[in-house]
Structures are given as C-alpha cells and as structure tokens.
Amino acid sequence: MKKILLFIGLLLPWFLSSLLPVDYNYYKTLTLPFFAPPNIFYIIAWSLTYIFITISIYQIVTKYEYKNIPKSYKTTLLINYLFNQSFQLVFFIFKNNFLGFISCLGTLISLLFLRQEVKTINEKSNKYLILYLLLIIFATILSLSIYLLNL
C-alpha cells in the first residue's frame, strides 16, 4: 500500500495544471496547422506520458534514498516540471501563443538534460521518458506553428 501511495503522490503533481480554470474555446478560435490532432489526443497522450514520467521517477526514488539522488537530477526535474506545468497558464489563461511556444521549447530542452541525468542514475528509467520526448517534440512544433499562423 505504501508503494501505491508513493506512486500516486509522484503522479498527482503532473496533473496539477489541469485544475486551472482555462478557456479551451480559445484553442478553437486559432488558425491551426493541418497536423493539429483532435482534443481527445491531448487527454490520452498527456495522461499516458505523465504515467510514464512517474514510473521513471518512481524507479529512481525507490532505488535510492532521497539524499543519495544527485542534486543535479532533482534540479533538472524541477525545471522540467515547471516548464511543463507553465503551458496551461501561459497558453490558455494568458492566451499568449509565443509564451506557449517558449514553454514547450523550455520543456523540450530541459527534458534533454533530464534524460542525460536519468541515464547516469538508472538507464532503465530513461526508456520511460521516450514517449515524453516524442510528445514534447510534436508539441513544440505544433505550438511554433500555431504562433506563426496567428501572428
């Protein structure tokens, strides 16, 4: 039971930004690129991604005592988390397409550093970040396209 509670405790913060009251109609008013997926894609893809991120973190947290986890990993994970969570705020609440792109780009760059950190700590945990990498590459391209199409 303790392991399940730990996993849930690691998972829930990733869904924190989804609690923000956002204007999803804003997205519908934008000119979207031809490759923009339907809304259900985001719900499924990000939910799965957050579960895989949590598995990666869980494997590291349960393998090492917290104080033995490198500070560089914790810092990089925090930076990645903050960029990840900022998207909902800047895109849907502030309705700023440029900052939405910057949020995605920051998430992508910090994820590249995070994957390097994870690789040095636990190679097995790194594979759980592949979906995240693919999704954030797509999201960065999509957000740049949306920004450029709506100048």
Q: Where do the domains of the chain lie?
A: 2-15+40-149
Torsion angle, CA of 60/65/67/68, rounded to 10 degrees?
A: -70
pLDDT in tens, 33-82: 999 999 899 999 999 999 999 999 999 999 988 889 999 999 999 999 99
The span from the CA of 137 to the CA of 143, in Å, is 10
Backbone angle region of 30, left / alpha / beta, with phi > 0 → left and psi within -120 to 50 → alpha: beta
Do 59 and 121 touch, CB atoms closer than 8 A? no
pLDDT in tens, 89-107: 999 999 999 999 999 999 9
pLDDT of the residue at 2: 92
pLDDT of the residue at 30: 97
Please give the C-alpha separations between residue 30 and each of 13, 36, 39, 130, in angstroms, as whole numbers: 29, 11, 14, 29
Number of C-beta neighbours around residue 19 at 10 A = 8
Percent of the chain clearing pLDDT 70 (strictly above): 100
- Structure tokens given for 42: 């985001």
**Residue 20: pLDDT over 90:** no
String of DSSP letters for 34-93: TTPPPHHHHHHHHHHHHHHHHHHHHHHHHHS-GGGS-HHHHHHHHHHHHHHHHHIIIIII
